[in-house]
Amino acid sequence: MTNLKVNLPGLKLKNPLMPASGTFGFGDTKAAQSFDLNKLGAIVLKTTTKKAKLGNPAPQIALLDDGVMNSVGLTNPGAQQVVSEKILPLRQKYPNLPIIASVGGASIDDYVDVAQKLDQAPIDALEINISCPNVAQGGMHFGTDPETVEKLTSVVKKKVTHPIYVKLTPNVTDIVAIAQAAARAGADGLSMINTLLGLEIDVKTRKPVLGNGMGGLSGKAIQPLALRMIYQVHQKVDLPIIGMGGISNAQDIIKFFLAGASCVAVGSAHFKDPQACLHLAAQLEGELEKMGVQDINDLVGQIDF
């Protein structure tokens, strides 16, 4: 039997699959409630901010032929409510499920405040979201400058006890420099990539398909870019990578491992299959057995360039 278990800082995963941040909300979406979440490797929660956010104007989601556009805008009830009303009930229901809480902010102080609040909750790791393209302040603006990334990561790392995974934006010229800055500051891992800032237009109305105009592009269309960036970062930075970008079948997962990822997150595939992670885990074991691979960890970074 092929080993699918993956051990990362703060995380012991029974398989390398987890829903990407926002996909399952706080474990309270219809998709999240459609099956036993214990069958996941882990769950990444929706990004939490200091105060409640209502998000961007509707429509917030647009399904394209080769991807998904979104401009949700980090809708959440605020850090205090997330801890008491979201995380605590989720932990009570799933005491052994690895939980990664996602941190957002409009300033470094915001990030620290949110991280400290979430750090006190029964979670296993923190994802520091410095890459959301759908907010006017914070988000991606913190993830495009190496000095800022290093400062933010360093400050947060010193204030929390759980491992931190810095979520990188692809909307940069040199993602390796950003990853190196996070590593210098003490990050325990990286999460990559977030969505690409894009624009889709409805020809009939001559208006953007999203209420906020521009938004984040995810799905199959961005996969080659995600693989390229993960490969480049893995060559230069010695940190585990949670890889994502249009994963919809077992071979996609294997591609991400070969490029350098140590586990994967799935987002857009859930629009077609709410139990995508569950089904992908089953497919993955069979695919690896056909390849003669006994341990999925052996594939990390083993692309034959």
CA distance 54 to 73: 8
pLDDT digits (tens, 9 = 90+) for 107-147: 999 999 999 999 999 999 999 999 765 554 455 567 889 99
Quick one: pLDDT at residue 33?
Answer: 92
**The pTM is what?**
0.96
Q: Is 263 known to be catalytic?
A: no
Count CB-CB contacts under 10 A for residue 228.
15
Q: Rounded to an integer, what is the distance from CA 33 to the centroid of its chain?
A: 20
Q: Is the per-residue pLDDT at 70 higher than 60?
A: yes
Q: Choose between 161 and 139: higher pLDDT.
A: 161
The per-residue pLDDT of the chain, averaged, comes to 94
**Which residue of the set 43, 68, 101, 132 is catalytic?**
132
Confidence of residue 50 (pLDDT cuts 50, 70, 90): very high
Q: Is the per-residue pLDDT at 16 higher than 60?
A: yes
pLDDT mean over 73-89: 96
Please report, for residues 7, 22, 23, the alpha-carbon distance to residue 52 in angstroms, rounded to integers and kept in the order given. Answer: 33, 15, 18
Q: Is the per-residue pLDDT at 157 higher than 80?
A: yes
Confidence of residue 1 (pLDDT cuts 50, 70, 90): confident
CATH number of this structure's domain 6-299, picked from the four choices 3.20.20.70, 1.20.1260.120, 1.10.760.10, 3.30.450.20: 3.20.20.70
